[in-house]
Structures are given as structure tokens and as C-alpha cells.
A and B are shown apart, each in its own frame.
Chain A
Amino acid sequence: MSRAVRVTPAPTSRLPGDEPREVDPSAAAVEPLGHGRLLVQTADGRPIRALIGEDHEATPTRPRTVEVVVDGWRFELEVEDAARADLRARATRARATGPGSGPYEVHAMIPGRVAAVAVVVGDAVTAGQTLLVVEAMKMQNELRAPRDGVVERVSVGVGETIDLGDLLVVLA
């Protein structure tokens, strides 16, 4: 008897197009190699090494999250029982006002310093328009609006240091 595990890239390492994976742990051919390494058999028969890094226990708001590095790609993966993951997803959806209509929060995808703020509350913006400029590692990175909307809130100011995941702008 086996129950599927839902593995979902955590918001901090999720890219567009990253979909959750359902894995049957009893069917996955995985061998421990020692020192936090696992050898994973792939469909083409070539075993690939996975490094297990930080392992964060579940909290009331977040499932257990495991850091895994494969072929140099680093993922923070939320791991939970698939059936429970469904329940959680339904609950989250129910809280939201409805798909696509609510405010859109723009979070920091890179840490750095805010070099410029191009919008103020009340501005109407179009998708692709520059909202902020973030300076990180000596490069200026323009942060653009992901969709059309009206700026409801700007949470940061020029010169402020921001961290990964910080709320920057809310679009209504």
C-alpha cells in the first residue's frame, strides 16, 4: 500500500512553469550514498546524484521544506502527503476572492537595494512597465509589472535594502 507524496517547488525557488510532482516513494528507486547524497535512478537508466541540504520541519503555515541540488540546480521543495496537499490547496483557494481578480502582490525575487521607484500609489500601469529598479551585485535590475493594474501600495523606498520574498508593490 503506498500513498503519493506531493512535491512542490517552494515560492522562494519556484519559476514559471514549475509544476508540483506526485511521487510514489515506494516506487522511486533511490539509494542513500552517505553524507547527504542520494542516488536517483532515472527513466533512461542513468543514475543521478542528488544533494540534500537544509531540511525545515513543517510549520502551521508551511509544509516541510527540503533543499535538494541536482546537476547544480537548487530547489527548495515542499513535501507533503498528496491528499493533504489537495485539502490545503482547496482551503487556500476558498480564502481568495476569486481567481485573477484580487490584488496582485509583487515580491522581491532578488535581494538588494532599491535604486529607484518608478510608480506612486494610484498610477495605472501596463504589463511590462517598470515599477522599481533594484541594485544587486552592482547590476541594476528593472522590476516590471506582471500585469495591467493600478498601484495600490508601494512598500519600499529608494535606498532601502530588500530581502528575497519582501513585499514591494501591490497592484489592484
Chain B
Amino acid sequence: MTSASQADRPAAASLRKDDRPPFARVLVANRGEIAVRIIRACHELGIEAVAVYSDADADSGHVRAADVAIRLGPAPPAESYLRGDAILQAARDTGAEAIHPGYGFLSERASFARAVESAGLVFVGPDSETIGALGDKLAARRLANEAGVPVVPGTLEPGAVQRADGIDALAAEGDRIGYPLLVKAAAGGGGRGMRRVTSRDELPAALAAGSAEAGAAFGDGSVYLEREVLPARHIEVQLMGDAEGSVVAVGERDCSLQRRHQKLVEEAPAPGLSDEERRELHAMAVRLGRAARLRNASTAEFLFDEDRRFWFLEVNTRLQVEHGVTELAADVDLVREQLLVAAGRPLSARILAAAENAARPTRHAIEVRLSAEDPGRNFAPAPGRIGRWRMPAGPGVRVDTAAEAGDRVPPDYDPLVAKLLVVDVDRPSAIARLGRALDEVEVTGIQTTLPFHRFVAAHDGFRAGELSTGWVAEEWDPAVGGTREKALDVAAKAAAATAGTPDTARHASPRERAEASGWSVEAREDAIDRWPR
């Protein structure tokens, strides 16, 4: 079946036709939880889903969920999920009509979108020209500037970090912008390639490190400078557009709780905004979206400063990690909408209604990102093999994940293992529900960010809606040692109690016991007698 074309679809007779699947087969060019999320949307629309995978993911959740799975190559992204040629070949080989890129990887590469279009396939996202115009953060800043949307002060052209005179020129720009400032990757996203610089002395090293990280992550080492607006909240607007030129804002999200510019907690709507502020923000985002002739899903990110002013940051021309809070708060399905719009259909009545009501929200949703990172060691990566895996359920709870007990979380990719979302009628009840859901989480084998999320859900300031991008450094960093110390006390008691339990003794065969040194066997036998009954 081919996608419905614009010309032969009279509006009045479209209903029955639109009930048919927009595509027969879609290739999902991603991995992990987002691939599973997209595969679910495909299956609900009657679309067959094709997964692609690297050697590190041969047995992973998105491969299990798909109808067909194609190997791309070895674990490193450059040899697998970033190989546009191999992905296109997989689409041709499997007869997929469209490619959904998810987030990260190739999702914002205009060259990949163009290659998909040239191959006669549909790229589920904005067209390659829009991705080029908005996906380049610098071009987006220029576009916003021209559309009359206030942008965060900084540079508008890429810095020449390879040349000494280029670095001098950037240092002069830095003095003009003022410190602290941020080095950012023009091709960036998710904080990759970003460095905070507090003085001119630190700038050359930050430029080199940021550029190298950006080059490794995106294949493009271009960087620019931007003032650090502090204190500020990070508020972003979900945009959705169709091929006929309609662009709407489906509400906003607050993603202020970040660490090293990686979002940790997101909610929709942004707490504490007036209806008027919401309208103003949504209008700015729509203006930008129209100027860029936006089709499909994108997100316009803003900073909201102490004087309640919005500053444009960037547009992400893809589905966001945190799209689920908008889905729960606005009662829409953004991935389904993406697939329908990609097949040439107009924005659905449901999305239009949600956009209509976006300034007067009636529900509140919160998402926490459960990642394989150690919040006791500055969120250092903590890949490994998952032992026990139990996720929460019950009313108002949604978990997006590809993980199962026994799965390996590979060190090669993003550490996100599950997104835990809750929704309720208002923010206080959503927070209570979040606390309950977090209590139900049971994960062993890897350290996750769960302790941080528990801290947030119980925190008075968070409950009061006092959010800022500096929150984690101000609130969590001083408290982390104490919460861990307390847990260690409890863990030590639990560990001591297991010494020599019949249950654990069973695991050791007599031969293994004999191989263990004599004294440790004696110690275990002592312990068996002391097990409290």
C-alpha cells in the first residue's frame, strides 16, 4: 500500500480512507526505549515495524518488539546507528516505505533526511531543508532573530577553533558576551559538546574539548558561544505541523532539572505560568515554526529568566525524549500524529483541540529519566547487566523502556534505560503519584539515578515549584552524601543478615566451598547459627 497523496483525497470523503494504515511498513532507525515507543505506535496503526541493531543490541528490547530486525554493524554508533547508507539499504531490503529516526543518532541530520527523500522514501520528521535550517543551532538563532523572537545573547556564526586567530576572535566575543558563558556545539543536542566557561583563561581548553566531543558525537565540531542565563528555567514548546502549512503548539514542558545540561526530570505544563504567559510563549514558538515552514514534530526551547522573560535557545527538529509528558497532559499521541502527518494527512482534530486548550491545562504530567548513571559519583556512567527489573504500574503511571531483567546496558550509547511518567489532575497529586511509583521501582545489577529522583519527589522546594537549571547543583550535590550514607547503614544490616542464610548457602556447591579458603568457610558456618529467626 502506498501513502495517501494530497491530490486524490477530498476532505469530505477522507474519513474512511484515513482509517487505513498510513504505511504498510516503517523502519525505526533507533534503539532502546524510543525504538520500542515508535514500534508500539506502528503496531497500533496496523503498520509493520522494522528494527535495526548493532552487535551490542542483537538481543535487546527493540529487536524483540519489532516484526523484522536488520543488523547494521559493530557497536560504535559510527559503524551502526549513524550509518545512513546501511539504514537506507535495510529499508529497501525490507520494503519499508518510511523511516522514523527517533531522537539522537540521525534524527537531525539534514543529509540523512535528504538521502531518504531522494530514495523515494518518507522521512518521519520535518523535510531536510527545515532540518538544515533549524537543526544547525546557529542558523536557528539567526532565523529566530529575523522572526522577532528574542534569542539568548551570544555569537551567530561558527567559531574557527582550529586557528589561533579564530580563538582570539572568540575570546574577544567572550568578553563582549560576558562570563560565565557556554561553548555549544552547532550540531548539538542533549548537552554533547557543551562546556561552561567562567573566565577567558578557560576558553581555549573548553573550545578544544567541546569541539572534540561534538566531533565525536555528531561528526561536526563547529561550536559557538552563548551567555549563561542564571537563574533560569528551561521551558520548551511542542510544535506539530502538517504538509498544508498548519503549525500548532501542543503546550509546553518545563525541563529545568538538569545536570551538565542533561535533562533529568520534565513536566507538563510548566508550573506557575499565567495563561497569558503561556499564550505569548506558544505564539512565539508558532511564529518560529511557520518561518521555518515546519512540518511534523519539533520542539522550540526557551529559557525563562527571573524577570519572567523568554529567550529562544534552539529548535529540535525531532521527537523529544520527554514527548510523553505532553502526550499525558494533553491526551494526544504525538508519534501516531507524526506517522499520519508523514503520510500527508492534515493535523488531526485531536491535536487541533489540544492546541486550542494548551493555554488552560487541566492535567499535570511528570517524567523522570531512569539512567544507568551513579548519582553518588556526579552521574558517572554505570553500564552493566541488569539483575532484577521491576517497574511501577497502576493508575496514571506509564513506563517507556526496552529493558528487561538480564539485559546488558552497553557502554556505547546513551545511559537512559527507562522513562517513568505519571499523570494526575494537578501538580501536587502528580508528585504524590510519582513518589508512589518510585517506591515500586526495583532494579539491581546496575546503579541508576533512582536515588536522585526519590530525593526530587520528596523535596519541599520541588513540590513548591521552585525550579531552575541550577537546582541539581544547589540542592542535590550537598545532600547526596547523606542520603547514600543512610542507605549504606541499612544495606549493611541487610547484608549482615544474609550471612549464611540457608538460601544463599545453597548457591555454593561443596566443591566450591572446599576451594574457598578454610577460614571463610568457618566464618560462614558461624554466621548460619546467628541468622535471626
Binding site for B on A (CB under 8 A): 2-3, 5, 7, 9, 13, 15, 17-18, 21, 23-26, 28, 30, 36-38, 40, 42, 48, 50-55, 57-60, 63-64, 66-75, 77, 79-81, 84, 109-112, 115, 135-141
Contact = CB atoms under 8 A, between A and B. Distances in A.
Interface of B: 77, 192, 209, 212-213, 216-217, 372-373, 376-377, 380-383, 387-388, 411-415, 438, 441-451, 453-454, 481, 483-499, 504, 507-508, 512-513, 515-517, 519-521, 523-524, 526-527, 530-532
A25 B531 contact: yes
A5 B523 CA distance: 10
Contacts of B524: 58, 64
A51 B442 contact: yes
Nearest to B521: A58
A7 B496 contact: yes
A9 B481 CA distance: 15
Given A109-B377, A110-B381, A140-B209, A81 B530 contact: no
Contact of B381 (A28, A30, A112): A112
Instruction: Please classify the interface of chain A as helix (H, G, I), strand (E, B), loop, or mixed, using the class held by over half of its residues.
Output: strand
Point out which of B411, B494, B508 has the most chain A C-beta atoms below 10 A from its C-beta.
B494
A30 B209 contact: no
Contacts of B487: 70-73, 75
Nearest to B77: A138
A16 B84 CA distance: 44
Given A137-B383, A138-B413, A71 B454 contact: yes
Nearest to B509: A57
A53 B504 CA distance: 11
A45 to B, nearest CB: 13
Contact of A71 (B372, B483, B498): B483
A26 B527 CA distance: 10
B415 A28 contact: no
A81 B381 CA distance: 33
A64 B516 CA distance: 10
Contact of A30 (B451, B493, B526): B493
A138 B214 CA distance: 10
B494 A15 contact: no
A55 B504 contact: yes
Nearest to B508: A57
Contacts of B454: 71-72
Most buried by B among A3, A28, A37: A28
A38 B501 CA distance: 12
A63 B516 CA distance: 10
A25 B499 contact: yes
B495 A84 contact: no
B484 A66 contact: no
Given A7-B495, A25-B497, 17 more contacts: A3-B526, A25-B527, A26-B530, A30-B497, A40-B490, A42-B490, A50-B493, A53-B388, A53-B445, A54-B444, A69-B491, A71-B486, A72-B443, A109-B380, A112-B381, A137-B413, A141-B381
B105 to A, nearest CB: 11
Contacts of B512: 57
A54 B532 contact: no
A15 B376 contact: yes
Nearest to A21: B492
B490 A25 contact: no
A139 B212 contact: no
A74 B385 CA distance: 13
B204 to A, nearest CB: 15
B514 to A, nearest CB: 11
A5 B494 CA distance: 11
Given A25-B532, A63-B520, A84-B523, A77 B444 contact: no
Contact of B532 (A26, A55, A63, A140): A26
Contacts of A30: 493-494, 497, 532
8 tightest Cβ-Cβ pairs between the two chains A and B: A72-B450, A53-B444, A50-B494, A58-B520, A21-B492, A23-B496, A73-B487, A30-B497
A110 B380 contact: yes
B377 to A, nearest CB: 7
Contacts of B383: 111, 136-137
A40 B387 contact: no
B260 to A, nearest CB: 8
B491 A68 contact: yes
Contacts of B446: 74
Given A7-B496, A111-B383, A137-B413, A75 B491 contact: yes
A5 B441 CA distance: 29
Contact of A70 (B216, B372, B413, B491): B491
A67 B444 CA distance: 8
Contacts of A52: 494, 498
Given A110-B381, A135-B216, A136-B411, A21 B489 contact: yes
A69 B444 contact: yes
Contacts of B388: 36, 51, 53
Contacts of A73: 376, 447, 451, 483-484, 487-488, 491
A80 B520 contact: yes
A4 B157 CA distance: 66
Contacts of A28: 493, 496-497, 532
A24 to B, nearest CB: 8
Nearest to B442: A51
B485 to A, nearest CB: 8
B527 A84 contact: no
B381 A137 contact: yes
Given A52-B498, A60-B516, A112-B381, A67 B530 contact: no
A75 B488 contact: yes
B381 A136 contact: yes
Contacts of A48: 490
A69 to B, nearest CB: 5
Contacts of B445: 53-54, 67
7 contacts: A5-B496, A15-B484, A28-B493, A40-B493, A59-B516, A72-B450, A115-B212
A9 B521 CA distance: 20
Contact of B523 (A72, A80, A110, A135): A80
A137 B451 contact: no
Given A71-B451, A72-B448, A25 B523 contact: no
B380 A7 contact: no
B108 to A, nearest CB: 15
